[in-house]
Chains A and B, each alone.
Chain A
Amino acid sequence: MVPNDDKISTFQLGLIIYLTPIGVGIFTLPAVLAKDVETNGWISLILGGLFCMLIIYFISDVGKKYSNLGLVETLKFLFGKVLGTILAFPVFIYYIVFTAMEIRIFGETTKMYLLFKTPLEYIMIPILILAMILTRNGIESIARFFEAAFFLIAFTLFLVILIYLPKSDYSNLLPILRVEPLKLIKSVSDSLFSLSGFEVLFLLFPFIRRPEKALRSSLIAISFITILYVVVFIQCIARFGVDYTSTLLYPTLSLIKSSDIPGAFIEGIEGLLFSLWIVLIFTTIVMLIFAYSIVGSNLIKQKEIKHTVILFLPMIYVISLIPDSIAETFEFTDKLVIFLGYYTIIALPILMFIASKIKGARG
């Protein structure tokens, strides 16, 4: 019997870490990598995955020690009240903007491929409201929803990969490793940020039933995402070639679009697949909303997370509509990564890891 105590099991944590990073990033990822490192994108992805695992190790090492505190409290404990709050504030902004951009890009892609005439606002508002309803029910309901969605998604991904596997030209992946090392290293940051979302692990520690096992399930989740990304990248390159992939905006969606099932008794399965992609994006949005609500409620000392969710929802909606065009949206996302992403994903975990070691040595 699973107790009803607002805590999640190790398996559920793994699912959360698996489903949160897979969002709209997967649409653009193959093009970004093909542009930077041509055929070697998969190497960059694997390196990015390994780097991500290192950060997860830092996070879980700190998280285990202060498992009942949560991110903001840990920061306050490690750096003092004032400095801790200052350090936690960018994280909050990061989650707010990240959620907003995720919803915007979700709206843009849905409009482009599925609902051509529906106004953007009407695509974004319902998904925000649905995500809000789920988030307000707490981490346990979220984890259960993720469990339900996972098998649907896992089955679909498996099916999609089976469709594309035979009909591609895998010699497009050659040559291997013929790229300047500096370029490859630079592209690792792209790969790492395609995994962004895993940092919610930090916020989840107070909710994990057995924090000591968090590291293992997170690492497994990250390696599965890396495998999925590598497969998607290889499929895009094998189907379109490097030069064509780098000219596409959403190569993954074009890949789905170019599907032709042998026998061809069904045409255009992309409608079915897109509706499942929405579930995948929904999980990301839910988790991001949950993340900002935890950080936000800790910052403003509000005990009920429920209220924080609604409090900042209008703000997210407004921020998501700031960029005027799709080009500006991408620029905005890049700026988010440069200013806040590096801080939240790389700098903060390392900083906290070092601080906890010093504190541990003293105490």
Chain B
Amino acid sequence: MKRIIMLLLVPLILTGCWDKTEIEDRMFIYAIAVNKVEDKKSESDLKPFYEFQNQNLEVTFLVPNPSKIQGGESDVLEEITVSAQDLPEAVGMIRKKQNREPFFGHEKLLILGEKLLRDEESSKEVLDWIDRDPKKNRSAFVVATKDIKELIGVNPKLEKLLPSYITGILKNDTVVATMISVSLNEFLGNIKSSGMAMIPIIKRQKDEIAIKNVALIKDFKYLGELDDRYIRGYSIINNKLDEGKKLFNYKGNIVSYNITSSSAKIKLNEENGRLVFTVDVEMEGDIEDYLINEDILKSDIIRDLQDSISKQFEIELKEVVRHFQEDIGFDYLNLKSWTKKHKYNLFKKYEKNWDEAFRNAKFNFKVKSYIRRVGVIR
């Protein structure tokens, strides 16, 4: 009798599958695109309802259609667009339009519209929503764009899905020097620790999508655009450069140098109440093209080329730093955290007015570049 009672009690506790979701009942959201369309402020007095009134955000969820993929059709990406006050409301609203349960675990891409980034409060809310919910994929990429609608219209040429097309381009940052990619993890970490972050901007170019320039974010707000040219210098100083090219001038000809590794060592001193950063860079690389009918396979020519490349890198880095110091005026080179880590006393001294200290800082560069290989012709 006792056993029978036990047996009857067991199912009471052990059954019940509240979290059961069949895979075919799921809607795998590959990308979320958020932009701000209106700017209605909510009043401070209490009202009975807040739903469906301030539809400030336009949220587009990009979802691949599994049955279309199986059928081999070309246009497999479905877009579901809703307007809502915030993202939780948007998710609630797609559940009113779509039968399947939205699943964010495989999200690959977060597209933030420029208008959203210009509004501090809204972008804070959107980012907090992503940060707060543990079900989100934290390794998704973040990009910014001006116009989400024209972007979504693009039909990728070689890929089936738009998000994997964009993330595929972003992953090329390991071989392209003038490009960065930012994951959600890095982005949220940067913005929470220093208040400053960079996001690559994607633009439509005819029927393709291209990465062009970087959006600078300061305290959850859009600060400005950074031209692609400055990214290589930024990556070199931050030791983030894996591989990339630089065009340089040799005897009036423009030739290409492919960097295969680069390492920067920063030193910091203080002179007359001013920070002096000395950056030593060492890089290795190959020559990819040269002058026709000239013999490159001579060590003094290689040495001459190396000196020329080093000098031109020094000019480039000086210009990059000048751009950050004078035109942008904020320390996007992460030197504040570097100083905190390595020169704590100086950090304590300048912590309060770091931006000014950064603007006034002096930079010295010493670049040493090596040419290891020149290809298979002389």
- Chain A residues with CB under 8 Å of chain B are 112-119, 122, 125-126, 129, 171-172, 174-175, 178, 239-244, 247, 253-254, 257-258, 260, 267-268
B377 interfacial by beta-carbon distance below 8 Å: no
Indicate if the CB atoms of B189 and A125 lie closer than 8 Å: no
Chain A hits for B341, CB < 8 A: 171-172, 174-175
Chain A hits for B106, CB < 8 A: 267
Q: What 5 additional pairs, Cβ within 8 angstroms, besides A114-B19, A117-B18, A175-B340?
A: A118-B19, A172-B341, A178-B344, A241-B337, A243-B192
Q: CA A314 – CA B295 in complex, angstroms?
A: 88
Chain A hits for B194, CB < 8 A: 243
Q: CA A60 – CA B343 in complex, angstroms?
A: 45
Give a binary string over B15-27; 1 marks a CB under 8 Å from any A CB, 0 the rest.
Answer: 0101100000000
Give a binary string over B137-148; 1 marks a CB under 8 Å from any A CB, 0 the rest.
Answer: 011000000000
Indicate if the CB atoms of A244 and B13 lie closer than 8 Å: no
Indicate if the CB atoms of A253 and B342 lie closer than 8 Å: no
Indicate if the CB atoms of A174 and B342 lie closer than 8 Å: yes
Chain A hits for B192, CB < 8 A: 243-244, 247
Q: CA A119 – CA B18 in complex, angstroms?
A: 8
Give a binary string over B78-120; 1 marks a CB under 8 Å from any A CB, 0 the rest.
Answer: 0000000000000000000000000001100000000000000
Q: CA A242 – CA B190 in complex, angstroms?
A: 11
Least Cβ distance of A264 to chain B in Å?
9
Chain B hits for A178, CB < 8 A: 344
B376 interfacial by beta-carbon distance below 8 Å: no
Indicate if the CB atoms of A254 and B138 lie closer than 8 Å: yes
Most buried by A among B105, B194, B341: B341
Indicate if the CB atoms of A115 and B138 lie closer than 8 Å: no
- Chain B residues with CB under 8 Å of chain A are 13-14, 16, 18-19, 105-106, 134-135, 138-139, 185, 188-189, 192-194, 337, 340-342, 344
Q: CA A244 – CA B340 in complex, angstroms?
A: 16
Least Cβ distance of A344 to chain B in Å?
32
Considering the complex, give the chain A residue whose CB is closest to the CB of B15: A122
Q: Which of A112, A129, A242, A257 contacts B193 (CB 8 A)?
A: A242
Chain B hits for A118, CB < 8 A: 16, 18-19
Indicate if the CB atoms of B138 and A258 lie closer than 8 Å: yes
Chain A hits for B105, CB < 8 A: 268
Chain B hits for A253, CB < 8 A: 134
Q: CA A162 – CA B16 in complex, angstroms?
A: 37
> Given the interface contacts A171-B341, A268-B105, does A122 sit within 8 Å of B13 by beta carbon?
yes
Considering the complex, give the chain B residue whose CB is closest to the CB of A177: B344
Considering the complex, give the chain B residue whose CB is closest to the CB of A109: B134
* Secondary structure of the B contact surface, majority rule: helix
Least Cβ distance of A311 to chain B in Å?
19
Q: CA A112 – CA B132 in complex, angstroms?
A: 11
Indicate if the CB atoms of A243 and B18 lie closer than 8 Å: no
Indicate if the CB atoms of A257 and B19 lie closer than 8 Å: no
> Given the interface contacts A175-B341, A175-B342, does A113 sit within 8 Å of B13 by beta carbon?
no
Ranked 10 nearest A-B pairs via Cβ? A243-B193, A174-B341, A117-B18, A244-B189, A118-B18, A175-B344, A258-B138, A178-B344, A244-B192, A115-B19
Considering the complex, give the chain B residue whose CB is closest to the CB of A126: B13
Q: CA A339 – CA B341 in complex, angstroms?
A: 38
Chain A hits for B16, CB < 8 A: 118, 122
Q: CA A172 – CA B193 in complex, angstroms?
A: 12
Least Cβ distance of B162 to chain A in Å?
20
Q: CA A2 – CA B127 in complex, angstroms?
A: 58
Q: Which of B139, B188, B340 contacts A260 (CB 8 A)?
A: B139
Least Cβ distance of A216 to chain B in Å?
40
9 contacts between A and B (CB under 8 A): A117-B19, A118-B16, A118-B19, A175-B340, A240-B189, A243-B193, A244-B193, A254-B134, A257-B138
Q: CA A174 – CA B134 in complex, angstroms?
A: 28
Indicate if the CB atoms of B19 and A258 lie closer than 8 Å: no
Chain B hits for A172, CB < 8 A: 341
Q: CA A257 – CA B105 in complex, angstroms?
A: 10
Least Cβ distance of A361 to chain B in Å?
51
Considering the complex, give the chain B residue whose CB is closest to the CB of A115: B19
Q: CA A171 – CA B134 in complex, angstroms?
A: 27
Chain B hits for A114, CB < 8 A: 19
Least Cβ distance of B17 to chain A in Å?
8
Considering the complex, give the chain A residue whose CB is closest to the CB of B340: A175
Considering the complex, give the chain A residue whose CB is closest to the CB of B337: A241
Q: CA A116 – CA B20 in complex, angstroms?
A: 10
Most buried by A among B134, B189, B340: B134
Indicate if the CB atoms of B19 and A116 lie closer than 8 Å: yes
Considering the complex, give the chain A residue whose CB is closest to the CB of B106: A267
Indicate if the CB atoms of A258 and B139 lie closer than 8 Å: yes
Q: CA A253 – CA B134 in complex, angstroms?
A: 9
Q: CA A129 – CA B106 in complex, angstroms?
A: 35
Chain A hits for B342, CB < 8 A: 174-175
Q: CA A171 – CA B13 in complex, angstroms?
A: 49
Q: CA A115 – CA B16 in complex, angstroms?
A: 12
Indicate if the CB atoms of A257 and B13 lie closer than 8 Å: no
Q: CA A112 – CA B139 in complex, angstroms?
A: 19
